[in-house]
Amino acid sequence: MTVAQLKRQIEPGQTIECTDAKWYSNGQVSESGVPERMQGLRTVTLKNTVGFYLNPTPEDGKRGSFCDWPRADELEELTDTTFVIASKNSNGEVWNRRSYLIAA
């Protein structure tokens, strides 16, 4: 499981969905579930050395979002269809964990 593998796996035109999101405070889950702003299928419209841009379907009426490539220690899981990113604060503690599904 490497960031290089994730970079090879993500391609423009693919659809990606956030399936789970958790926020942590003092080592405990403070919020869980996918916020409304992150729900729904998103299409990868741009990929570059910094990250990738996820654009919602026009029917959603939501804004797109840019995802930075995770650091090596932030990528917790990578399979052919899923990946998990655990964002860390400056102390190295996980404050946010997001699970994504790569649709065919």
Count structural domains, the chain: 1
> Does residue 100 sit within a domain?
no
Separation CA 39–CA 57 (nearest Å):
11
Instruction: Give residues with Cβ within 8 angstroms of 92, minimum separation 6.
Output: none
Question: From first to last of its 104 residues, what are the pLDDT tens digits of the chain?
Answer: 689 999 999 999 999 999 999 988 877 888 888 887 778 889 999 999 999 999 887 666 677 888 999 999 999 989 989 999 999 988 888 899 999 999 86
pLDDT of res. 60: 66
Residue 103 falls inside a structural domain: no
Q: Which domain, by its residues, includes 56?
A: 3-90
Measure the CA–CA gap between 60 and 53, rounded to whole angstroms.
16
Report pTM.
0.84
Asked whether residue 98 is assigned to any structural domain, the reply reads: no
| Position 59 in a domain | yes
Asked if residue 23 belongs to a domain, the reply is yes
First to last CA, the chain: 20
